[in-house]
Amino acid sequence: MADLAHSIPSKYRGLIALNLVAVALLCLVTFAQNASGQPSRTRVAGEYTMVSGNLQGRSEDAVYIIDARNREMLVLVWERTQQKLSPVGGGFRNFDADSGENARNSR
């Protein structure tokens, strides 16, 4: 093994070490668990609809993104000063949670 290290020119040793580190990082990323932002195995793929509409008290229109399968909605508005989409209020609504809350309040 010592003869192999001497047979590799010194100008390539750093490149070989860098490649070994890159392969190790690739293995870590490949075999790591899913990130929390990635869809879980229990959540079904969404069925999305986008609709624009007015917002009370605002001059900008909003974009409502509705996921019919998972019964969720996201409301976004374009912020002209910041040049980005921003959620309105909490931005996110879960229809199942809302319907359960309404059922408790109506009793």
Q: 11-63, pLDDT tens digit by residue? A: 888 888 999 999 999 988 887 766 666 555 676 788 899 999 888 888 888 89
Chain centroid to CA 12: 40
What is residue 3's predicted lDDT score, i.e. its pLDDT? 63
CA distances from 52 to 70, 75, 86, 89 (A): 20, 9, 14, 16
Residue percentage of the chain with pLDDT more than 90: 13
The more confident residue out of 66 and 60 is: 66
Domain ranges (residues) in the chain:
2-31, 48-95
Average pLDDT, the chain: 80
Which run of H or of E encompasses 9?
none
Q: What pTM was computed for the model?
A: 0.51
Where would I find the H helices in the chain? 2-7, 10-31, 95-105
Contact 95, 70 (CB under 8 A): no
